[in-house]
Structure 1
């Protein structure tokens, strides 16, 4: 019934034209059509891809993860040999990526905060040096900076035979920096468990101290108490484990350095390049956050006789964080995603290992989907943490 008709009793019923002219009905129809088109396009792409792979006798699925990798990885945080499977190889790449991203976020935050504050210094030299640092490294593409550091670091130090020793038992060579590390012992496992317990205890003490402050107005020395709990529990675990002192010290044997822990030139190049590049953006975020704090806060601090450094640390920076956290999150995400450029300098991150896996197995779609899912997971995890931190820092309305 396309035309409007009258129902029995003289009540006018809606026709098809009336329904089509209804904005709510049209909105539902458009959404259904859009979803149907997306499903149809996805079905076409998947079916066409599977047909082409079958035509070329290329297997699909993730069964290749259990096959022997048969390739070496220059540095690994877990036990790995060429006889390990592809799943283990990808885990090595994942951990290497997380290591770079985690250390890079910490270092760029520290360096960026220092230069952000320096950009507002009353000292002309300090202010201009900070400006030169920010404007120089911010405007050079990060990939070029990785190439630059990778060209500098291996050539800045001598060969293994003439290793430079800046500190006792620390060796710098064109193959990286070698540092002494403790020999594996159960005591260090106990210390790790003690550290986790300490963080849990500190968390609950912090909640109690906050409630106590709100109820009585009496502050609790949470910083000193936290340090005492952490180092105290870790020390007790160390003593219970037998207080081991054996160290694996690097030394020249043959044509190479043996022993200790090697920080490779590739890792240093990636970490330095990403840290410096991202710290310039963090510096601008910190600077804008400080400038967003009303000048009356500075004046109030001065009227109380507070030094400018104390006012900055105790009053201005905490308030500026409420403005700076959202853009800081973006910079942390950018650093994590930019770590995929490490493949350009030979650092065995997730992308590098995945590319090798893809070339050996021909499982291009699966390999790419794995590291896409991993980077998505890392980004979402970072966003969730920073959103939680942002809510903790936000002003609570009463």
Structure 2
């Protein structure tokens, strides 16, 4: 009983603390004649963004969306690159080759001991010190580096990409089925079933067939548009009701599964205070989501087109627009799903300014400075995690692999790394979270990520607290999403005890 009282008391103190802070903030806003609200989300921001999907956003929420997508571009591409580079450096750190071993160690000790912000400044200064584009550079090329950024050849989605990609996803599913069957055949007969080879050939075959027949999926545009119409016809109040119902169902399912995990052949096991608290917390969280669904969902905001609509209606229309967008992509037109585009340098304007054309892919100086810095910095920590995970695998596994005649690359790929990843994955997830949150330092090098865009909105609107709340919500959702993915694979890879 004392334990429960202590927990409830601490919770009450925390709520009281935030209540006092909220009250003082409201008084200060009133004293400064600044209104607290989110009307600025629908107002024109009054500034442009240097890079992103929309350089001239017509509303505050659109500007934040551009900044958020810029953050996600750096975060997800950086996670992939840092994982690959960190794995290579971590394995090299264990190499018996003296030069490779020492170079990997030098990289790790140098990069991780230099502050990340200084590394961003270094790459920014290095790129800005490159030569300027001149009229002699006009033309297309495969790769280019200048004081305007790094441009490279790239592959872009083209006409028919999404129908082909749908076929490709079906190929991924079927290739996994084929590989699983070949693996079962190998286990049953002892003969080499070549599961990887058969899986890859199946995927390539389906991808090639899809390249030729993707126009036949044009009829799906009717389906996508029909789903969009169906969603758009849902009343706004029903949207809030569906969200609330989903929260309650999720809480009930979670509590049921939790209780099932406590059951024994003799019946339900004894529940501890922590177990009871978890179930209460799940129920309270569901009720909180219900309150948010109706309270926030019913709030009316101004849309960029000047009309007013509830948050639930905006959410419904946004979800419906996704299906309308897919409907526009399934046109049934023939053509290559992918196109290769080379960067080009051209003269623009009457003054003849030399600029990169809208071809290929261009990493601007701010983007490249942030991306390369967070990638290299995170890779240095991932390398040490990989090295520690490999060393944690019993030495007998390596000796047994060598006794079977496996080469170093084979036993690392087939024996050591699969076991090491069970140890590596939890700290690896922490590094992914650090990389995602470190992108906020991009504001120091003028990169248009969500913090930089929000800071400009604060200067324009004076709504500092609401924008900080948006920042916190964005990074909270991003961190929880990454944690959820890592935890899912961590559970999949965990050893099942008998």
TM-score, normalized by the shorter chain, greater than 0.5: yes
Q: Which residue of 1 aligns with 2:219?
A: none
2:402 matched to 1:302?
Answer: yes
2:164 matched to 1:191?
Answer: yes
Q: 1:310 to 1:151 in 2, by over 3 A?
A: same
Tell me if structure 1 keeps the 8 A contact 2:78–2:375: yes
Q: Which residue of 1 aligns with 2:490?
A: 390
Distance 2:193 2:491 in 1: 23
Tell me if structure 2 keeps the 8 A contact 1:251–1:259: no
Q: Which residue of 1 aligns with 2:367?
A: 267
Q: CA deviation at 1:318?
A: 1.1
Q: Which residue of 2 aligns with 1:145?
A: 119
Q: How does 1:1-398 map to 2 (within 5 A)?
A: 24=1, 26-76=2-52, 78=53, 80-82=54-56, 84-163=58-137, 168-180=141-153, 185-202=158-175, 221-240=194-213, 241-243=334-336, 247=341, 250-253=344-347, 254-255=352-353, 256-260=355-359, 261-398=361-498
Q: CA deviation at 1:183?
A: 7.9
Q: CA deviation at 1:268?
A: 1.1
Q: 1:246 to 1:294 in 2, by over 3 A?
A: closer
Q: Secondary structure at the match of 1:171?
A: strand
Q: Secondary structure at the match of 1:298?
A: helix
Q: 1:397 to 1:157 in 2, by over 3 A?
A: farther
Q: Secondary structure at the match of 2:129?
A: helix
Q: CA deviation at 1:301?
A: 1.1
Distance 2:431 2:17 in 1: 34
Q: Which residue of 2 aligns with 1:8?
A: none
Distance 2:336 2:138 in 1: 31
RMSD (CA atoms): 2.7
Which structure has the greater CA radius of gyration? 1
- Range moving further from structure 2, 97-106 or 240-249: 240-249
Q: CA deviation at 1:110?
A: 0.9
Tell me if structure 2 keeps the 8 A contact 1:164–1:172: no
Distance 1:332 1:192 in 2: 27
Higher relative contact order (Cα pairs below 8 Å, separated by 6+ residues): 2
Distance 1:119 1:91 in 2: 40
Query: How many residues were matched structurally?
Result: 371
Q: CA deviation at 1:302?
A: 1.6
Q: 1:230 to 1:358 in 2, by over 3 A?
A: farther
> Structure 2-normalised TM-score?
0.68
Q: 1:379 to 1:206 in 2, by over 3 A?
A: farther
CA deviations on 1:354-374 (whole Å, 9 max, x unpaired) are 111111111111111111111
Q: Which residue of 2 aligns with 1:16?
A: none
Q: Secondary structure at the match of 1:156?
A: coil
Q: 1:306 to 1:257 in 2, by over 3 A?
A: closer
Q: CA deviation at 1:319?
A: 1.1
Q: 1:266 to 1:317 in 2, by over 3 A?
A: same
Distance 2:180 2:72 in 1: 30
> Structure 1-normalised TM-score?
0.84
Tell me if structure 2 keeps the 8 A contact 1:112–1:282: yes
